[in-house]
Chains A and B, each alone.
Chain A
């Protein structure tokens, strides 16, 4: 994100390193060039303003609704009354989470609606919502708009959500499972409260829950999706690698009841793959679920066109597995975990979306455990395909249908060519090796022959003194030579 790229910049200039406010301390790009102290001050101002805006909106909401209903009773008194009642129930219900939940709710019961502003402003850390992106901003605006249709309960919902986000901010160092538990508790409490206190109809509760989920999860997403404290990312990579290794699996092996030769069907398959890949780009669990559902619908269409009957689970699951294998959707495990942890449970458990999500979980589990038996292959074939020695697609290359994309055909031709080249290359290498060996053998042979000969006829050097002496003795004219010169000594 932008924050990271900013950090990467190298600042050499001394003035750039200092706080922008000129207080003399060093600034930090993460604090937009301010030092920690000035940043906190600056941020505090901006935050105050945002809170102010939010509350103005909420206030306006309240006014509008009060005008509309002209209700005379004091809402605040009633509110805190139910709050404490609510809290009591909570305490009876569970003791294990008492500390966190109580902290969260007791704060709300003690401080009235007006005081909550101060309570929020007192929040010490400047890091909450530090970078309110456009998307988050839009989500809040939509949320506030939506809540207007819920009158009093809408205001209450807004307040609770704000407080929940604040509470979540302080729980950031908790394990992801505990954070998930908090979110699930929150969903449950809000839904219950809407039904029992505000007497909202079940349909409207469901709608409101969707909006609440959207609002809070847009804000929490970057802290709770694939958090560093878990091994989600590692699992993602494992699945991704696994799917890559299984690139050779054909629809026939999985008994996929989809005939991709029909143009409409292959169209549906492509759409389904697009949907499942798109899941990763969504922030809200419900939107992610919607992608899975959309993908499933396309799969059903593909099956329906092929078989001309409604798809059963026997048809659906293999096709979904095939789609996942073909699409290799990014961060599959992270997405599944995220949905499991932070989706509104009522949607996940009984709804249609939940069914498709469960099937996706099954598909991933199947892919992880997939073996020769589950594809009706012999262990040898499976091993050979896994190691990449052969590809089952090769045998089919002759009977391609005409509608297979030209690029793919060309690719397979090229692959063929490459494998031929590879063969020739290997032949050349082996012959070169042979030649090398021959050469070595040949020199070795020669050396050995030479050695043999040398051994057989060793070189004998005979002393030559005797004949030389004879020559000397035969020198008869020796004595005719003048006498050798004698050294003469001169005095001086």
Chain B
């Protein structure tokens, strides 16, 4: 689902983006989105029922953006389900814990997979979370940033606890997604036909991940 629908009534464009949140358990994915959408951290009086699907409306330079943030289960046993989650997403936020070397390795795996499955259409953000624990850092800034650059991703440093870097992360991501969507539209020539190939729903993919893909039924007509 690229930018959904041109704006109604001419008053500025509106975009709908799907962003997936990937990363091992305990790296702070949930805290990150809760901080962003609800501005809460480990709040005892938190009223939010869930933090797995959150939305946020933004206005960036007159463009309205509806952000749908999809949390994914980070446990290793669910790794294989990734493609079902990140299908048709416009952006991915890959979170690791700066005190945990392993979680950074996981991010690298995710990046490889995403690039393989979705190509360059998807905006990647690699996020080193928990910078409030700088003293226990196990992933070097240099290494992480070089890696991010090498795979065409942006790197961010955040702390959900201290509310650092999160606002910037999402704002930046949105801007990049808008850009990608516009480039995409221009490439297709006419904006009105944009959803032609990407609008198919989510499907369970058994053995042949491509056969049921977006263009699965275009062969015969």
Contact = CB atoms under 8 A, between A and B. Distances in A.
A97 B221 CA distance: 5
Nearest to A375: B77
A177 B16 contact: no
Interface in A337-391: 337, 339-341, 343, 345-346, 348-352, 354-358, 361-362, 364-366, 369, 373-374
B51 interface: yes
Contact of B70 (A314, A355, A361): A355
A336 B195 contact: no
Nearest to B46: A310
Nearest to A176: B217
Contacts of B213: none
B204 A184 contact: no
Interface in B155-205: 190, 192-193, 195-196, 199-205
Interface stretch (A7-15, A88-96, A479-487): A88-96
Interface in B1-32: 1, 4-6, 8-9, 14, 16-18, 21, 25, 29-30
Interface string B64-87: 001010111111011011001100
Given A192-B192, A310-B50, A349-B18, 14 more contacts: A99-B221, A196-B192, A303-B50, A311-B49, A314-B30, A337-B203, A345-B1, A345-B200, A348-B201, A349-B88, A355-B70, A358-B70, A358-B202, A364-B204
B75 to A, nearest CB: 6
A316 B52 contact: yes
A312 B52 contact: yes
A96 B220 CA distance: 8
Contacts of B1: 345-346, 349-350
Contacts of B220: 175, 178
Given A362-B78, A362-B85, A312 B71 contact: yes
Contacts of B203: 337, 340, 361
A233 to B, nearest CB: 16
Given A184-B199, A311-B50, A355 B75 contact: no
Given A181-B217, A345-B201, A349-B88, A369 B51 contact: no
Given A177-B216, A310-B50, A311-B50, A89 B192 contact: yes
A298 to B, nearest CB: 11
Contacts of B73: 313-314, 316-318, 362
18 contacts: A99-B221, A178-B217, A191-B5, A195-B5, A196-B192, A309-B46, A310-B30, A311-B49, A313-B29, A313-B70, A313-B72, A314-B71, A340-B202, A345-B1, A345-B199, A348-B202, A352-B68, A362-B73
B51 A311 contact: yes
A313 B52 contact: yes
A300 B30 CA distance: 14
Contact of B53 (A188, A345, A352): A352
B16 A350 contact: yes
Nearest to B71: A313
Nearest to B86: A358
Nearest to A348: B201
Nearest to B17: A350
A337 B200 CA distance: 12
A93 B53 contact: no
Contacts of B221: 96-97, 99-100, 178
A333 B217 CA distance: 19
A366 B5 CA distance: 34
A488 interface: no
A181 B220 CA distance: 11
A304 interface: yes
B150 interface: no
Contacts of B216: 177
Contacts of A366: 77-78, 81
B84 A362 contact: yes
Contact of B9 (A201, A297, A318, A345): A201
Interface in A45-64: none
Contacts of B81: 317, 362, 365-366
Given A177-B216, A314-B73, A369-B80, A300 B202 contact: no
A393 to B, nearest CB: 22
Contacts of B190: 93
A125 B73 CA distance: 51
Nearest to B33: A312
Nearest to A254: B77
A212 to B, nearest CB: 16
